[in-house]
Structure 1
């Protein structure tokens, strides 16, 4: 028997084959490596931790916005909003409590500076700032600590994600990186 999702939308036919729903699908097969990587250490094609590899790349190639002595700022490859940064210690540690004092201090300084730069470049109304510590907390790469700085604007979750099930990002990552790096 078919189940109903309300408003007359049938979820499953009697033969068990799903009926298409109203959601648009954006196919991102490159994300499968993140979904299937057990410990998330080989998501960059077997070259080890991506957060350890990124600093070895040229800034534009790695989407690095700024480099400090203990921490670097990099754009998120899969941003929630334009300018979504991650602040990452160079040292491969999994937990905030493993950071040395100099790393914690620079992480805090980078957080403050990232907010200042994002306000200057794109004028967000607010920020989500946080660390997902561990797989069960939602960390995509739990083995290497990283802090998210996500700029937010009133109404940035407009009708597209709600009605169209699609997130619209109005700027290419390379352009965002250049703006933020220049302002850093």
Structure 2
């Protein structure tokens, strides 16, 4: 056996043991409950509306286009986790104009090329969470995630130690990506 105690039915719940050990993570309730999450009540409170009004370094903006911009995720899954956001405060992908849709796709492609040049990930996760029920942390302003992935980058550190290992700070990541955007040297 594993040396761990045999699992029991969860206290207060009827039933038979299911063979799973439990690793409780009550600290994640802050995230689940939405505490410390940016307000999502329109353009005045929207961090995706505010970011392009700051200088690139302060706003973590990597690149700007006519209709969309690329910005580092303030709470990244991995170094180089970018968000492609329209400037316009729009929630639903189907409400983008054809120009916004095209540029969002082009920026997503360039984000992948840039991150590959800068840090050589083995793969990517790309996606949009639409609406609060779909998992969008800021549902009122659409944003596409570009998450670089490396073999073995997911581990138990966030669960066990309540720590996410990020080997680079935002300022360095932003500067390297901005320098490499559009084919520049990293």
TM range (shorter): 0.7 to 0.9
Deviations 1:61-85 (A, max 9, x none): 0000000000000000000111100
Q: CA deviation at 1:22?
A: 7.7
Q: Tell me the equivalent position of 2:41.
A: 41
Q: Tell me the equivalent position of 2:179.
A: 182
Q: CA deviation at 1:167?
A: 1.9
Q: In the alignment, is the contact (CA less than 8 A) between 1:24 and 1:165 conserved in 2?
A: no
Aligned mate of 1:121, from 106, 112, 118: 118
Gaps of 5+ in 1: 1-5, 13-20
Q: Distance in 1 between matches of 2:129 and 2:24?
A: 31
Q: Tell me the equivalent position of 1:32.
A: 35
Q: Distance in 2 between matches of 1:155 and 1:85?
A: 20
Q: CA deviation at 1:7?
A: 4.7
Normalised by the length of structure 1, the TM-score is 0.78
Deviations 1:102-138 (A, max 9, x none): 1000001001100000000000000000000000011
Change (3 A) 1:22 1:34: closer
Q: CA deviation at 1:174?
A: 1.0
Q: In the alignment, is the contact (CA less than 8 A) between 1:65 and 1:75 conserved in 2?
A: yes
For the aligned residue pairs, the C-alpha RMSD in angstroms reads 2.8
Q: What is the number of equivalent residue pairs in this alignment?
A: 164
Gaps of 5+ in 2: 12-22, 182-186
Aligned pairs (5 A) from 1:44-83: 47-83=44-80
Change (3 A) 1:162 1:25: closer
Q: Distance in 2 between matches of 1:96 and 1:112?
A: 17
Q: Tell me the equivalent position of 1:3.
A: none
